[in-house]
Amino acid sequence: MKSGATTVAELRAEGVYRILTPDECVALGLDNLVLHPLAGGMPVDEGGAACGCSRSGCCRGSRGDPDPESDLYPEPVDRPRHRWSTAVMTLAVDVFLRDADGQWNVLDVPEGCNDSAGFENWRETVWGSAPVRALGATYLPVLASSDLYVEASDVPEFLREIALLREHLEAVAGDVGKPSDVIGSRLDNIEAAALRAREIGGGVLIW
């Protein structure tokens, strides 16, 4: 996971990293969670206990009851409620170039740029939502069913679609139940990538 944050407030606003209890992880209702119980200088004993907590089935509500015969699920031990640092699976926006053989090569994200294009569930809940489709958007809704590849020749039209969404940002945000500034910041990242792609004759990939 990449972050362009330079302050604690910016990191929180990005929404990529969260500090959660096991119950709060379940309550998110997401299909994918990347756990980092040893991140941020946490003591090894504390982080290891949190790992054991996950194997013991504290979060089994998200995946079903664990197999009691499996070595992956040792007996729970008494411990305080731990908060885990989690990286919620997110969409990334990148620029790619095609070589002479037509193979695409993804370029590194430039220093100071942010590649976050929203959370994984935004495929359906934001970019592929009915309000976005109702605007006439055709590129971003593709994310509801697959990754999005915008070829170099289509980048100008893709930029016009981004401008269309920005024009109706408040209405879309209200309809999908997301903060407009959060959606807007992801649109900023997508637009920045599209502008970089246009400058070098490349395409845009959101995956």
Residue-level pLDDT at 82: 43
Give the neighbor-by-neighbor strand order of the sheet with 84-88: 17-20, 84-88, 33-35
Residue with the two structure tokens 């209890």: 21
pLDDT (average), residues 14-42: 64
Q: pLDDT tens digit string along 166-185?
A: 999 999 999 999 999 999 99
Q: Average pLDDT of the chain?
A: 78
Q: How many residues does the chain have?
A: 207
Residue-level pLDDT at 86: 45
27 or 133: whose pLDDT is higher? Answer: 133
Residue 89, pLDDT above cutoff 70: no
Phi and psi at residue 44, in whole multiples of 5°? -60, -40
11 or 173: whose pLDDT is higher? Answer: 173
pLDDT (average), residues 133-161: 97
Residue 132, pLDDT above cutoff 90: yes
Phi and psi at residue 79, in whole multiples of 5°? -160, 160
Residue-level pLDDT at 2: 58
Residue-level pLDDT at 104: 84
Q: Decide: 136 and 165 in contact? Cβ < 8 Å.
A: no
Residue 203 to residue 191: CA distance in whole angstroms? 12
Kindly state the percentage of the chain with pLDDT values over 90: 53
